[in-house]
Amino acid sequence: MSLSTGVFDSDAPTPSVGAFTGAIGDSVTVLPIAVALAALTDLSLAHLLLGFAAFQVVWGVHYGLPVSVEPMKALAALVVAGTLTTGELAAAGLLAGVALLVVGSTGTLHRVGRYVGEPVVRGVQLAVALLLLETGVRLSLGTPSLAVVAVGVAAAVVLAGYRRASALVVLAVGLGVATWQTGVPTPRLPGLAVTLPSLSAFSARAAEGTAAQLAMTVGNAAVATSLLLSDYYDADVSPDDLATSMGVMNLLAVPLGALPMCHGSGGVAGKYAFGARTAWSNVVLGVLYALAAVFAVGVVAAFPLSMLGVVLALVAVELGRAGLDTDARGFAVVVGLLGVLANVGVAFVAGVVGYVLWTRRSDAPVPA
């Protein structure tokens, strides 16, 4: 991993409109999930946002590219659904950090990837989507009138041709409602303290969640992100480099109260689609996250949970679309349903075993 300081070189391009619009592309998943976790658990939104702020800037400067920094969605979904405690979330983030740092720094990610085929990754994505959808629907039923308003707003955004931004727009409307109820929030600087999870948090559930998350991380956050950075920006960033940076990020950020984070092909594609062409979009987004951490966290407690449910459902739909984007759709659906009926860790292990057995058959096609 070689440090690139091209963002601030004298010959580097200055911030453009694309740097500001491109920042939206990486926030459409981050903000809904961060707000949901802060509203439904004891996690601090300020610390979650500061984690994203810091590492947006760090990896933008490091790679000299508009690299994405996203939540580890499998772990976040398990916490939102009540399957993992926040302590187990932190433990899983540290376990994932160690695993990613080891495979990335030793150049062995490709060996792991041989056993975690694309159908397994898609199946885990689908399981996570179904868990988020279940939670979203349950929350939406609390105050149906607000949920109907949120669905109407989302429909208008989709019809206007901005489907990927629909969750972000509904989130903004919900924050507006909360601000109207609580008044303009008072700026507050969050304190920083190192907090490590207890030994009991390193449970079987944390290990299962880590395994499920790593399935998504290997395929989407490392391999697919490396390919997209090459396609969009003609950049040579290997999956092992990305795994190493994700490992470092989580080992540093999680003890400070941040959410377990990863890179992601969806964030890179979103940034590119919204106009990001340089790492300035990371710097811009980092500053915006930091400002939100200071000014906007006071309204989270008043956020309408029914509107939050619609936000989660919209995120689930986008994730589910990705989960079904495979030639082995039947295989992915089976893994996804197993993740809901049993748990995501069991679904991951079963998917890996099924994929390995299938591919060891001579001339076997991809399971469909």
In SS3 terms, 295-313 reads as: HCHHHHHHCCHHHHHHHHH
The CA–CA distances, whole Å, from 124 to 100, 320, 322 equal 18, 10, 11
Q: Give SS3 for 224.
A: helix
Contact 351, 111 (CB under 8 A): no
Residue 303 dihedral angles phi and psi, to the nearest 5°: -65, 130
Q: Which of 172, 309, 192 is nearest to 258 (CA)?
A: 192
Handedness of CA 162, 164, 169, 174 (dihedral sign): positive
DSSP 220: I
Q: How many residues does the chain have?
A: 368
Contacts with 365 (C-beta within 8 Å, 6 or more apart), sequence order: none
Q: How far apart are CA 223 and CA 267, in angstroms?
A: 14
Domains of the chain, residue spans = 16-183+201-359
Q: How far apart are CA 291 and CA 57, in angstroms?
A: 14
Rounded to two decimals, the pTM is 0.82
Q: How far apart are CA 355 and CA 346, in angstroms?
A: 14
As given in the structure block, the two tokens for residue 69 are: 């920094």
DSSP 156: H
- Tokens 């303009």 -> residue: 184
What is the pLDDT tens value at each position of the chain, 368 positions in all? 544 545 554 455 566 777 788 787 788 788 889 999 998 999 999 999 999 999 999 999 999 999 999 999 999 999 998 899 999 999 999 999 999 999 999 988 877 767 777 888 888 888 888 988 999 999 999 999 999 999 999 999 999 998 888 988 999 999 899 888 888 778 888 888 899 999 999 999 999 999 889 988 887 788 888 888 988 898 889 999 999 999 999 999 999 999 999 998 878 887 887 788 889 999 999 999 999 898 877 777 788 999 999 999 998 998 888 888 888 889 989 988 988 888 787 888 888 888 888 877 755 555 65
Q: How far apart are CA 285 and CA 275, in angstroms?
A: 13
Q: Which of 342, 310, 266, 296 is nearest to 72 (CA)?
A: 266
**Helix axis angle, 344-359 to 118-140, nearest 10°:** 160
DSSP 324: T
Contacts with 329 (C-beta within 8 Å, 6 or more apart), sequence order: 368
Q: Where are the alpha helices (DSSP H) in the chain?
A: 17-25, 27-40, 45-63, 73-80, 86-105, 109-113, 118-140, 144-159, 166-182, 204-216, 225-233, 239-253, 265-273, 280-295, 305-323, 329-341, 344-359
Q: How far apart are CA 216 and CA 297, in angstroms?
A: 29
